[in-house]
Structure 1
Amino acid sequence: MKSTHNILWAYTKSASVTLAMVTGTAALITACSGVAPLPKEYSQDQLDSQIMVPPGQVVALETTASGLLHYECKANATTAGTIGWVLVRPEADLLDRTGKTVAKYSGPPATWTHIDGSSVVGTQVALAPRVGATNLPQQLSTGASGTSPGVLQNITYIQRIKTKGGQDLSKTCTQTELGNKMTQSYQADYIFWKAA
């Protein structure tokens, strides 16, 4: 016959194990509930039609960029006889949806280089206004990929959307300011597409 002490000890041990299991399960459930859900599939539904990618394309990479745009006060090559702020060099780091830096943006020409060595050069084909006078317009470019294999190989289109900043060109730029330089910070999402 077991003593009362042994029975009490067995119940206490059993209760402690049960409590540890319940507490551990609750902690695990709480930890899992903090895990971010998978990002939704990219949609063009809210974009202006002129910067939408045509059918038959799929998203190859979604990124968020933060960087600088360097301007110079100079004669505008596309509009003879005018002077204004001309973009001479962009630079930005691109992060994927997990927050990892995966590419760099530079130019001219507009070039995105992935950490795997692949790259793509963009040629602007359309712009769409972005709310806010100092925000860059949204943009659609065609892509010409480099020869190195990787994520940016065979890219057909690049979208620049959700722009913020980068275009406060209110500083004076006249004949007397020719050669002056100005740097603007900006943010944007770059979406890279390839044929399905």
Structure 2
Amino acid sequence: MSIPARATLALVLLTGLNVSAGAETKLPEAIAAPGETVVLSAHAEGAQVYECKAGGDGKLAWTFREPIASLLVDGKTVGRHYAGPTWENVDGSAVVGKVTGNAPGATADDIAWLKLQVTASHGKGVLTGVTTVQRINTKGGKLVGACDKAGSFKSAPYSADYVFLRKA
């Protein structure tokens, strides 16, 4: 390996860039997190759960209720994602977030890409100190069609990559 190539590799490693899920993805400005360092990138497989509710106009429509997903790294389960929204690692560390930015998914069937600010955390582990979570590379998760019974539930399978960051 040449000296410039080694220097580039060292720079990538030192800046905390992760060459897996999020590094090759060009992020829309609305969900970018300049100045933050990647702590963990995990792939999620699960479902977005919806409830049939009456809207302001009295008509029934599917309303997002909560996510249910496994978080995977290299094919191994490392945590879970659920209502809150909450991400919990197997080491006991967890964060809860609030949406602060969004961008459309790649297709009409894909849920939005999100930027979430961490509003609460607990436990000690890999998620300790995380300040931002990005949801990118979404596939599926949108539920379309009419609902005809208030209080009924339906889920839509989805996958996404979650990137956990902290201020540098």
- Normalising by the residue count of structure 1, what TM-score does the alignment of the two structures yield? 0.70
Looking at structure 2, the residues matched to 70 and 64 of structure 1 have their Cα atoms a distance apart, in angstroms, of 18
2:31 matched to which residue of 1? 51
Residue 122, structure 1, aligned to residue 97, structure 2: yes
Looking at structure 2, the residues matched to 150 and 123 of structure 1 have their Cα atoms a distance apart, in angstroms, of 21
1:24 matched to which residue of 2? none
| Cα-Cα RMSD | 1.8
Does the CA-based 8 Å contact 1:44-1:52 persist in structure 2? no
Q: Which has the higher contact order (CA 8 A, sep 6+)?
A: 2
**Greater share of strand residues, 1 or 2?**
2
Q: Percent identity?
A: 34
2:149 matched to which residue of 1? 177
Does the CA-based 8 Å contact 2:95-2:122 persist in structure 1? no
Give the one of 130, 139, 142 matched to 1:167: 142
* AA at the equivalent of 1:160: R
Alignment of 1:131-170 (within 5 A): 131-169=106-144
Give the one of 81, 87, 90 matched to 2:67: 90
**Greater share of helix residues, 1 or 2?**
1
Residue 99, structure 1, aligned to residue 75, structure 2: yes
Looking at structure 2, the residues matched to 154 and 161 of structure 1 have their Cα atoms a distance apart, in angstroms, of 21
Query: Residue 54 and residue 186 in structure 1: after superposition, are their counterparts in 2 closer, same or farther (change >3 A)?
Result: same
| Deviation readout 1:39-71 (Å, 9 max, x if unpaired) | 72653761111010132x100000000001111
Residues matched between the structures, number:
149
* AA at the equivalent of 2:41: E
Does the CA-based 8 Å contact 1:145-1:153 persist in structure 2? no
**Larger-Rg structure:** 1
Using the TM superposition, give the Cα deviation of residue 103 of structure 1 relative to its aligned residue in structure 2, in angstroms.
1.0
- Normalising by the residue count of structure 2, what TM-score does the alignment of the two structures yield? 0.81
Looking at structure 1, the residues matched to 90 and 48 of structure 2 have their Cα atoms a distance apart, in angstroms, of 21
Structure 1: stretches of 5+ with no match in the other structure: 1-38
